[in-house]
Structures are given as C-alpha cells and as structure tokens.
Amino acid sequence: MKKTKLGEFEELVLLTVAVLQENAYGVEIKRELEERLNERLSVGSIQSALKRMEEKGFLTSVFGESTRKRGGKRKRIYNATPYAHRVLQEMKDVRSRLWEAIPQPITTFQTL
C-alpha cells in the first residue's frame, strides 16, 4: 500500500479516466470531474495529476484525433494500466474494511 503513493485528487482523476475509457483526455476528464465534484478545476491541476500518474505507471497515453475547436491540436487519450486497476481495488478494499470496523453507536450523539 505504501509504495503506491496515490493522492486523493489523483485517485479521483484516475477513477475518472477509468470511467471515460477511450474518451479520457484532459478537458473531458476536467468536465466529468467538475460535474461530479460540483466545483471548478483548473487545467493545470488535472494536467499535473495526469503527468505525475503517468510517471508512476498508473497511466499510459497515446495521441488521439484533433478538432477544430482545439485549433488543430491533438488530444492525448489516457488509459489506466492494469497496475492502476489493482491499486484502485486495493484502496477500495482497505477503505471498506475500515468502514466496517467503525463501531455503530454514532446515532446516540443526537440524544445527548
């Protein structure tokens, strides 16, 4: 677990990449995340997360098509590696185990 070093924001971006599949490029990821998180994100934050994760081996990327809207510049399509899928699964497991371990009586606070 310790070796993976996946930050919270990175995890979100990685999950989005996994969700978007072949449509996972910078702006689309930003759009999707903005909608889900309901807050504005900058291109810079997304891009630096993508680059970091690519370096760590969570993502691979290839150039995609270019559009008029992008002034003829090509997209870069990201793809989550099997390693990334494994790490995501591990994190999810760790979390759910933790959730299960929380003792129940939280509701009693309301009566205090």
Partner 1 sequence: MKTEQVQMPPKWPLKFLRLILKKEYLEEIEGDMLEVFQDDLESAPSKARIRYTLQVLKLIRPKLVKGLSTIQKPHYYDMFKTYFTTALRNLIKRKTHTAINISGLAIAMAISMLIILFLIDQDRMDEHNPRAGSIYRLTTEFFDESRNRNISHGTTPYELAEVIKFNVEDVEDASQIVKGNGNIKFKDKVFGYRGLYVSPNFLGFFEYDLLSGNRGMALQSGNVVLSVELAEKLFSQVDPVGQLVELIDIGSFVVSGVVDSEAVKSHLRFDLLLPGEVFAAGNKHLLSDWGAGWKRFYNYFKLKEKASPDPLLVYANDLDSKFPAEEKALYSFGIQRLDKINLGRVVRNEVGLTTPGMVLYFFIVLALVLMLSASFNYMNLSIARGLRRAKEVGIRKITGAGKMQIIMQFLVEAQLVMFCALIFAFLLLQVLVPTFNNLKILRDIDGAITLDFNSNVIVYLVFIAFAVVVGLVSGIYPALYLASFKSLSVLKGPNHKGKSSFIFRKILVFIQYTFSIIFIITTIILYQQAQIIVKTNYGFNHANVMNVNIKDLPYPEMRNELMKRSEIKGVSAVSDLPVLSSLEEVDLVNKEMGPETIKSFLVSMDPFAIDNLELQLVSGRNFRPGLKSDKEQAVIVNEKAITMLGYADAGSALHQTIELIRELPTGQETIKKKIVGVVRDFRHQFVMIESGPLVMDYDPDRLSIMNIRFEGSDTEMVAAVVENIWREFDSSHPFQYDLYSYDISDIDDEFIDIVHIVGLISAIAIIIACLGQFSMVLHHVQLKVKEIGIRKVLGSNLSGLMLLLSKEFLVIILLAILVAIPVAWRINAFWTGKIFESPEVSVINISVGVAIVFLLAMLTIFSTVRRAVHANPVESLKYE
Site for partner 1 in 54-73 (CB under 8 A): 63, 66-71, 73
In whole angstroms, the minimum distance from the beta carbon of 88 to partner 1 comes to 21
Q: What angle do CA 28, 84, 59 make, to 5 degrees?
A: 50
Out of 32, 33, 75, 88, which residue is the one contacting partner 1 (CB under 8 A)? Answer: 75
Site for partner 1 in 84-103 (CB under 8 A): none
Count the site residues for partner 1 by CB under 8 A. 23
At 19, which helix (H) or strand (E)? helix 8-20
CA distance 58 to 53: 5
